[in-house]
Chains A and B, each alone.
Chain A
């Protein structure tokens, strides 16, 4: 019953989504009214929402005749985990994907932008929506019925039931990924829409900022989940799925910067980066949903691969044809000073694109080698440490140069950089002479000090400005400071992290620098579809002693063991205790004790970046509101410079 309703809503969504494309094209090509097109877009959203609601209901009611519930539901699963299990497997997550995509489409449909540009962009979004609805309804329908219906299910992947971040991490990532469809659609629509098309960057800015903020938060949340659940003490493993989320983030970051620079407004950089961001989203979807790559977070093998690859190719073709067209307007003549915003933005763009290329080839190469040479190969963190990390440090330095390039003239700008440079070298000298963090970490410390000093110097002049200009700069400042803090956190935790792993009897001690844990007891429990072992340990450190209890549990239905580390978070350092294994008779336990410095700084930095992005989003929305009177014809581009 629920299954039929779900299938019906998917079919209705497919029909209305495929109707939106001709309806919006009618607006764009034939100048008809946009009313029906808006209605069709709204109906598509309703269909997606209904499909999600039906599957949630089926999950909560334990209706095991629905295939997805039979595969991912379970009576022993808690309410929260049951709700989030909608996106714990491929077919259900596709419904959430559709809901977010249709939500963006409906929001964009309601805007009053220049009509032709708007309609063409909506048609592009419509094609993407149609494809994913077709995928969900025809190839990965979660509502197919199961005969006979089982009495219970295995529950979602136990790794996904461990952390509250799982409830927000995938929705945030989807908000980020799919928000990038708007700049993509606008970039494709711009060359089709004629003179109206020149306005696309201004319209795309708030969407891109919103999507980028959500994507940043999603990536950070994923890193946090990995840190708190996977139990190996790290937050980033250069895993294919992590890489898939990083690639669009890199190009979207570059896009956010190139779209700012007035001199670049007519260059092709913007449209190429906007298209590349969404293409990388699609490519990431292909990588993670086709079973092509093996990863902790990848969904299991599925037959969707060829279809998704087809969409990627189609999108590449469309963007090359449209965004690759010659720009009708030549770039503004005139010499740009060396230390100008245009240069900084371009160097930043070049670097971020190169990092994206590094991550892309590192992720894709293992897929290519096996069919071509027959040998398996893998690309480990070492490759990224040699390539992406140095480039990222240069990007960080560039963020430190950013406040200076606003000044007119190379000399004034260079003078402003003296103090940050001094701070950077003092830091590098002090850290390098007092400890041995290794060259990359040391350079990262110096670069972070350089950037933070420059930004702090900017803060003073910022507060004297009038409000409007202040918020824009404050947004950039927050994001850049956040980046520096992330660099500090990454460098600190990778250079000074210490860990010790030992098999201990009751009463014995594992020690790392001044922190130690003593095993008090091993406790076992069973029930609720899982067997759990818990080690009670006394943790001594910072002059205090308290009790900690890392756990290890084994999910019988999925045959998976999950370690639940015990983490004491502090700004200066985290203490991270993991129970790795327990002897059969319970007499000994293998315990890993790690001290991870500055991980808290990393999360603070990520929060600052997201905060900066949201502030920028709020400002750009206000600007659009202020500058476009409702239903007025498009303002000429010169009057709508968003550049601050």
Chain B
């Protein structure tokens, strides 16, 4: 009998040890884990609803993934990369808000619920020593004057409910809808500017296009044209900038980008466009450089 017990205990101990070993092995980071994915899973895609940068298909997320990969390649730690993103785009970019301020509620509320419900459970389970007297409140007589009065009050209550909805509905008809969603365009633009600073003009142009699709805007279109120009696509830049110039023929930036683009597409027209630019905006920061170009 005791042998059987001992054997049983040994088997159980071996099993538990094996299970613990399995757990330990499982908790170590897997060899094939992709560091880019680990970091991007903690970042929220600004253009989508509730998707992480790792999972999202949007161009912003793709650019952010690239940015993470690049920084990891430069030897930055995941925490540094997260900080970099937070500095640029705010706490909103993190999939999980940092544990400070109001976000502490995320932990306080469940803890309170656990404690409160747990205390109530303990109270329910503990045998009650003193029996409370059975309350006599139950079973008011039916049909008395008090009941009549309660009935009239409830009727009035229903009327008030309907009237309140009617009044509120009337007011709401002209109220402004509230709760605008996050502005993904602003984030897209910020990201595109970052890419431009890193001289990655192709990717930046892609993001500007994305932003333009959501919000047609001459300023953004000019930036797109400029990014295209710097990416070496002078023809594309010219096409883009002509759309802006068709709307506002005297846009100095438009003339500037057009002129620069024409230097590679139609060198004959370029000087005239650039001269027009100088005439329209003689104090533009780029003006001295253009004068130098024209003079040369």
Contacts and interface: CB of A to CB of B under 8 A. Distances in A.
B293 interface: no
Contact of B92 (A29, A343, A378, A432): A378
Interface stretch (A48-56, A323-331, A536-544): A323-331
Given A296-B49, A350-B121, A429-B15, A376 B165 contact: no
Contact of A307 (B12, B102, B134, B165): B165
Interface residues of B, number: 83
A380 interface: yes
Interface string B118-144: 101100110111011011011110110
A77 B276 CA distance: 54
A175 interface: no
B127 A31 contact: no
Contact of B106 (A331, A379, A580): A379
Nearest to A443: B23
A336 B128 CA distance: 12
Interface in B121-173: 121, 124-125, 127-129, 131-132, 134-135, 137-140, 142-143, 147-148, 150-151, 154-155, 158-159, 161-162, 164-166, 168-170, 172-173
A361 interface: yes
A428 B19 contact: yes
A373 B101 contact: yes
Interface stretch (A68-76, A88-96, A287-295, A396-404): A287-295
B285 interface: no
B127 A29 contact: no
A131 B169 CA distance: 12
Nearest to A115: B142
Nearest to B213: A559
Given A135-B169, A425-B19, 6 more contacts: A18-B158, A138-B165, A239-B50, A306-B168, A353-B117, A428-B19
A470 interface: no
Contact of A377 (B28, B52, B103): B103
B57 A580 contact: yes
Interface in B32-78: 41-42, 44, 49-52, 55, 57
B2 interface: no
Contact of A29 (B125, B142, B182): B142
Contact of B173 (A131, A303, A350, A361): A303
Interface of A: 14, 18, 21-22, 25-26, 29-31, 116, 123, 127, 130-131, 134-135, 138-139, 194-195, 197, 232, 234, 237-240, 263-264, 267-269, 290-292, 294-296, 301-307, 310, 326, 328-331, 333-336, 342-343, 346-347, 349-350, 353-354, 356-358, 360-362, 365, 368-369, 372-373, 375-383, 387, 422, 424-426, 428-433, 436-439, 441-443, 446, 580-581
A358 B108 CA distance: 10
19 contacts: A25-B150, A194-B139, A195-B138, A239-B49, A269-B120, A294-B181, A294-B182, A328-B138, A333-B129, A346-B125, A350-B114, A350-B117, A353-B113, A354-B110, A378-B92, A380-B94, A381-B52, A443-B23, A446-B19
A442 B50 CA distance: 26
Contact of B97 (A116, A379, A436): A379
A346 B121 contact: yes
Contact of A14 (B15, B128, B162, B168): B162
A34 to B, nearest CB: 13
Chain A: interface secondary structure? helix
B172 to A, nearest CB: 4
Contacts of A303: 169, 172-173, 175, 177
B56 to A, nearest CB: 8
Interface string B5-22: 000000110011011011
- Of residues A29, A267, A387, A431, which shows the largest number of chain B Cβ atoms within 10 Å of its Cβ? A29
Contacts of B118: 350
A232 B55 contact: yes
Given A21-B158, A346-B124, A382 B42 contact: yes
B23 A428 contact: yes
B95 A422 contact: no
Closest 9 CB pairs of A and B: A432-B22, A380-B95, A429-B18, A194-B139, A357-B113, A139-B169, A303-B172, A134-B165, A194-B138
A237 B51 contact: yes
A25 B154 contact: yes
A433 B22 contact: yes
A296 B50 contact: yes
Contacts of A238: 50
Nearest to B97: A377
A442 B178 contact: no
Nearest to A345: B121
B280 interface: no
